[in-house]
Amino acid sequence: GAVVSQHPSRVICKSGTSVKIECRSLDFQATTMFWYRQFPKQSLMLMATSNEGSKATYEQGVEKDKFLINHASLTLSTLTVTSAHPEDSSFYICSARDVTGQGDTEAFFGQGTRLTVV
Amino acid sequence: LAKTTQPISMDSYEGQEVNITCSHNNIATNDYITWYQQFPSQGPRFIIQGYKTKVTNEVASLFIPADRKSSTLSLPRVSLSDTAVYYCLVGATIYNQGGKLIFGQGTELSVKP
């Protein structure tokens, strides 16, 4: 089946630095990718929708200047957490779907990135 | 997007059949019903998807009544490894909201020996 690879799986950074998380679709072209954040014991919260070749669409309440999303190719989207602070520590998950075809398709999720800001 | 309501948690024992019901009273005509499973510190994994009646695969069955206002995920003969959070999503179709998936609270299933 289709695979979405996320890297790194775990990262620790110092407060004030930036961290980049990569999301790759390995065997299909993902015209659309999604970024989620999940705090302990909570559900996934959609942060933004990333469309190849265009600006990402952010959900209400998500700071676009803090969470920079780039979807430069059909197989790669990146999320950069800029000037990270301890409250940004969370589990970040990406998802990819090919929304260009006919009919419905399932969404494939990466394995997630555990970000810890110290 | 249709809002979903699921039990927050459920307990079961190994070998039992588990049924998790999800309510989605405002489901739209084009909406599909999709269930995902999530283990701790992992991304969600697709289990099953349906539009109406019954769908079965090697992992689970999905029962959807005629009015489609609810759905039931059935896991036959659960094992300890089925302990996870199960999410019911509605509207996960490419024709709705650009294909984005909105997760509800999920059901935390605990399987005991």
- Chain A, chain B: beta-carbon pairs less than 8 Å apart: 62
- Residue B109: predicted pLDDT: 98
- Using CA atoms, how far residue A83 sits from A78, A95, B6, B58, in Å, is 16, 24, 37, 45
pLDDT single digits (tens) B15-65: 999 999 999 999 988 888 999 999 999 999 999 999 999 999 999 999 999
What is the Cα–Cα distance from A13 to A8, expressed in whole angstroms?
12
pLDDT single digits (tens) B87-113: 999 875 554 556 678 888 999 999 999
Instruction: Answer whether B43 sits within 8 Å of A104, measured CB to CB.
Output: no
Give alpha helix (H) positions in chain A: none
Report the number of secondary-structure helices (H) and strands (E) in chain A.
0, 11
- As given in the structure block, the two tokens for residue A10 are 């775990």
From the CA of A71, how many Å to the nearest CA of chain B? 16
> In chain A, which among 6-45 make CB contacts under 8 A with chain B?
6, 32, 34, 36, 43-45
Q: Is the pLDDT of residue A3 over 60?
A: yes
